[in-house]
């Protein structure tokens, strides 16, 4: 059944849209990620203009993160004090990200920067994750018990000025790295159409040393806030949010996530992370090929200015 997307101005199969929303939702439930980094490229590869894909996925990621955040909220797994700082800096970052998005789009380099951004971040995170999970798998084979990292351990980042006490996370750290991380994720999220959870979670764990039971819930709050901000900013700036497209993806995503979460119980943590790392690397390689191989068609054409013809 074809459905006409009024902002993307093309028809796609409804079941295809709900289907990829569901498939990505399944993975997001399985791995506890927003899935924007998979969904945006999938939409671009299926013919949706990159600006519309990035902007509409922001809405879908906000929806997917909401149901996750709710369940963490019920368990008390959110540090709202820390989240407030991340959210405020994240929204400033999103403003800059959307401004960069518009400037790059006008200059004709948006696709390039999206591809490069995906390549660099997914490549980096994917390699780091795969090394970490292979080590973990090897360790568990040998039966070595690894001493758990204490949240109280400090590194040089914590010693910067403007220290603030975050009671729930049992942290007394400088606010500067918190704001920096929040703003960076906001910028990247708005520019690349990703929630940034897969960058934010390691940053919270390894740089800020947020306790494990608070990391995901707190990062989800930040993801919701910057994706909501990005959705509004993209709507105002380029009118490229397709509500119908986002809604189809949301419905599939919310349902798929439930099945993913149940399936996740049957896999071990290290295996799960190794699989996710392979997935992340796969997407990175796909983007690398786009950039490095000679394109089949050297020429491309695009409509200038704000898209949309007369009604």
Partner 1 sequence: MKRFSIFFFSAVFLLAFNNAGFSQRLVNALSDKQISIDSSFAGETISFFGNIEPEIGEREKVIEGTFNIIMVITGPSIDRVVREKSNKFIIWLNSNSQVYEKFPSYYWVLSDASLDDITTPEVLEEYSLLPKHQPQKFSKNANKDNRFDKELVRLMKEEGYFGINENAIDFHSNSFYSGRLELPANVPVGSYLVQTYLLKDGEVISQKAQGFFIRKTGFERFLGNFAKQSPLLYGVFAVILALFTGWLGGVAFRR
Please report whether residue 213 would count as binding partner 1 according to CB under 8 A: no
Q: Which of 267, 281, 284 is nearest to 137 (CA)?
A: 267
Q: For residues 84 and 79, what is the distance between their CA atoms, to the nearest angstrom?
A: 9
Closest approach of Cβ 299 to partner 1, in Å?
4
Contact 176, 160 (CB under 8 A): yes
Nearer to partner 1 by Cβ, of 108 and 282: the residue is 108
Please report whether residue 296 would count as binding partner 1 according to CB under 8 A: no
Burial of 177 (0-12, 13-18, 19+ CB in 10 A): middle
Listed ranges 36-44, 143-151, 206-214, 253-261: which one lies at the site for partner 1 (CB under 8 A): 253-261
Please report whether residue 266 would count as binding partner 1 according to CB under 8 A: no
Q: What is the DSSP string of 36-92?
A: HHHHHHHHHHTT--HHHHHHHHHHHHHHHHHHHHHHHHHTT---HHHHHHHHHHHHH
Please report whether residue 67 would count as binding partner 1 according to CB under 8 A: yes
Closest approach of Cβ 175 to partner 1, in Å?
27
Please report whether residue 102 would count as binding partner 1 according to CB under 8 A: no
Q: How many residues bind partner 1 (CB under 8 A)?
A: 67
Token readout for 54 is 């990035």
Please report whether residue 311 would count as binding partner 1 according to CB under 8 A: yes
| Residues contacting residue 106 through CB under 8 Å, at least 6 positions apart | none
Q: Which residues are at the interface with partner 1 (CB under 8 A)?
A: 1-4, 6-7, 9-11, 59-60, 62-68, 70-71, 108-109, 111-112, 116, 224, 227-228, 231-237, 239, 241, 243-244, 246-247, 250-251, 254-255, 257-258, 261, 290-295, 297-305, 308-311
């Amino acid at each position: 059944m074809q459905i006409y997307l009024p902002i993307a101005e093309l028809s796609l199969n409804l079941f295809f849209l709900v289907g990829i929303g569901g498939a990505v939702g399944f993975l997001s439930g399985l791995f506890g990620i927003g899935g924007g980094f998979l969904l945006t490229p999938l939409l671009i590869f299926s013919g949706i203009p990159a600006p519309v894909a990035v902007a509409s996925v922001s809405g879908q990621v906000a929806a997917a993160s909401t149901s996750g955040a709710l369940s963490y909220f019920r368990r008390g797994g959110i540090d709202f004090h820390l989240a407030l700082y991340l959210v405020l800096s994240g929204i400033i970052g999103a403003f800059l990200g959307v401004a960069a998005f518009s400037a790059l789009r006008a200059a004709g380099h948006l696709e390039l920067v999206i591809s490069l951004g995906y390549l660099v971040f997914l490549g980096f995170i994917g390699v780091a994750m795969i090394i970490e999970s292979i080590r973990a798998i090897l360790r568990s084979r040998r039966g070595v018990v690894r001493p758990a990292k204490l949240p109280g351990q400090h590194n040089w980042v914590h010693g910067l000025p403007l220290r603030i006490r975050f009671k729930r996370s049992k942290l007394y750290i400088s606010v500067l790295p918190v704001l920096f991380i929040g703003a960076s994720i906001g910028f990247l999220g708005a520019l690349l159409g990703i929630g940034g959870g897969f960058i934010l979670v390691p940053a919270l764990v390894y740089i800020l040393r947020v306790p494990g039971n608070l990391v995901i819930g707190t990062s989800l709050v930040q993801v919701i806030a910057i994706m909501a901000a990005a959705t509004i900013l993209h709507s105002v700036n380029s009118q490229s949010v397709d509500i119908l497209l986002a809604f189809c993806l949301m419905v599939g995503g919310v349902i798929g996530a439930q099945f993913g979460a149940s399936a996740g119980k049957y896999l071990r943590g290290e295996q799960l992370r190794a699989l996710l790392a392979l997935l992340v690397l796969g997407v990175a390689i796909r983007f690398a090929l786009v950039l490095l191989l000679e394109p089949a068609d050297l020429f491309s054409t695009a409509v200038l200015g704000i898209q949309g013809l007369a009604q």
